[in-house]
């Protein structure tokens, strides 16, 4: 992949992208950012990889930008941390253990879902050093937890422990220590079993419609839903024939 700082591995229906700089708490320098971007490109090009799982090696998810290196390109169109100004065409899950701070939290917010361990902590401590959020934090955090809680985290830099993060919706699920990657892969396999066309269409409608007036969002939903109507018809026929009536959950 062109960077020893990031590993890419196919695990079933998932592609696991791992920041591998444990000595620096997986802080991102220019080489790591390039590796993350290349990993996303590889994931997008692989039609059999249905979900991207983003994680970190060792005792941290990611501590943000490497402030000792200071070599990130702030004007990179894809984003300083590799892909933070892009939107993946398929779901992404953050598997979080330990520190998820600054740009690391922005990377986690870039994902659709966040699975974390009880010892995880999430926040924007760069507030103390006057470092701005430039990898999507000011835009994605309010969409996840609401403006009031987002402004508190952005303005004060207060770290949020895992239990509170789950309570406010910043984290989707807490799992036992060490099980964050396993659970993320379980979710990826479940997501991969769904008809992909309609799942991706609904995901796109939710993401693109988030900033629209309601009437425009409903029109977007209608248009995208019509484009995959044939998949819905086939699915309804399978249901009528008795498939999937037990309603098994994720």
Q: In percent, how much of the chain has pLDDT > 70?
A: 92
pLDDT in tens, 61-86: 999 999 888 899 999 999 999 999 99
Q: Is the predicted pLDDT of residue 1 greater than 90, yes or no?
A: no
Do 207 and 134 share a structural domain?
Answer: no
pLDDT in tens, 204-221: 999 999 989 999 999 999
Q: What is the mean pLDDT of residues 47-56?
A: 97
Looking at the domain assignment, is residue 246 inside a domain? no
Boundary of a domain, candidates 192, 209, 227: 192
Do 129 and 114 share a structural domain?
Answer: yes
Q: Is the predicted pLDDT of residue 248 greater than 60, yes or no?
A: no
* 166 carries an active-site annotation: no
2 band by pLDDT with thresholds 50, 70 and 90: very low
pLDDT at 4: 81
- The more confidently predicted of residues 234 and 5 is 5
* 47 carries an active-site annotation: no
Q: How many domains does the chain have?
A: 2
Mean per-residue pLDDT over the chain, rounded = 93
User: By the 8 A CB rule, do 66 and 23 touch?
Assistant: no
pLDDT at 243: 60
Q: What is the mean pLDDT of residues 119-135?
A: 95
141 band by pLDDT with thresholds 50, 70 and 90: very high
* Best-predicted range by mean pLDDT (2-6, 22-26, 244-248): 22-26
Q: Domain range holding 224?
A: 195-240
Looking at the domain assignment, is residue 202 inside a domain? yes
Do 199 and 186 share a structural domain?
Answer: no
Q: Is the predicted pLDDT of residue 235 greater than 90, yes or no?
A: no
Give the integer Cα–Cα distance in Å for 29 and 66: 5
Give the integer Cα–Cα distance in Å for 129 and 132: 9
pLDDT in tens, 147-202: 999 999 999 999 999 999 999 999 999 999 999 999 999 999 999 999 999 999 99
pLDDT in tens, 82-104: 999 999 999 999 999 999 999 99
Do 222 and 156 share a structural domain?
Answer: no
DSSP annotation of 34: H
Give the integer Cα–Cα distance in Å for 54 and 8: 10
Which CATH number goes with the domain that contains 185? 3.90.226.10
User: By the 8 A CB rule, do 249 and 182 touch?
Assistant: no
pLDDT at 230: 80
Do 129 and 227 share a structural domain?
Answer: no
The residue annotated as part of the active site, out of 5, 78, 106, 176, is 106
Do 60 and 129 share a structural domain?
Answer: yes
The residue annotated as part of the active site, out of 44, 47, 78, 126, is 126
Query: From the CB of residue 164, how many other CB atoms can be counted at a distance below 10 Å?
Result: 15
pLDDT at 149: 97
């Amino acid at each position: 992949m062109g960077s020893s700082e990031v590993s890419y591995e196919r695990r079933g229906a998932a592609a696991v992208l791992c920041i591998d700089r444990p000595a620096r708490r997986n802080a991102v320098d220019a080489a790591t950012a390039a590796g993350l971007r290349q990993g996303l490109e590889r994931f997008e090009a692989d039609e059999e990889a249905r979900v991207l799982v983003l994680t970190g090696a060792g005792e941290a998810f990611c501590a943000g930008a490497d402030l000792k290196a200071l070599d990130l390109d702030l004007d990179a169109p894809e984003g300083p941390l590799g892909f933070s100004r892009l939107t993946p065409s398929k779901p992404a899950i953050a598997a979080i253990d330990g520190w998820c701070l600054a740009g690391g939290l922005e990377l986690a917010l870039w994902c659709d879902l966040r699975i974390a361990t009880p010892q995880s902590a999430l926040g924007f401590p760069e507030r103390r050093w006057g470092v701005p959020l430039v990898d999507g934090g000011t835009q994605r955090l309010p969409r996840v937890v609401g403006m009031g809680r987002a402004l508190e985290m952005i303005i004060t830099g207060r770290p949020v422990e895992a239990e509170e993060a789950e309570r406010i919706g910043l984290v989707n699920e807490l799992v036992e220590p060490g099980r964050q990657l396993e659970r993320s892969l379980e979710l990826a396999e479940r997501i991969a079993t769904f008809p992909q066309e309609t799942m991706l269409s609904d995901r796109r409608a939710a993401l693109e419609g988030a900033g629209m007036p309601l009437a425009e969002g409903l029109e977007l939903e209608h248009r995208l839903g019509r484009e995959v109507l044939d998949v819905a018809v086939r699915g309804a026929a399978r249901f009528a024939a008795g498939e999937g009536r037990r309603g098994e959950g994720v």
